[in-house]
Amino acid sequence: MDRFILLMVACILAGFALINVSLTDTFLASLEPVTTVIGILAVLIFSLFLLYKGFMALVGK
């Protein structure tokens, strides 16, 4: 279970990296809004999942 939680934290960090990546002056500049949206969704989904798992651990299930 510990590796699973670390994987979720790594996914959150990857989401932050996608949000902050600078694609200006590259041929991928047109994909910058897409990478930002994917990064935001990754951070939100994995953060909510970790909150849910933490809440369930506190409740006892």
Q: pLDDT of 13-61, one tens digit each?
A: 999 999 999 888 989 899 999 999 999 999 999 999 999 999 998 998 6
Instruction: For residue 49, give its domain range.
Output: 2-22+30-59
| pLDDT exceeds 80 at position 1 | no
- Per residue, the 3-state secondary structure of 12-48, as one string, reads HHHHHHHHHCCCCCCCCHHHHHHHHHHHHHHHHHHHH
SS3 of 1, please?
Answer: coil
Number of domains in the chain: 1
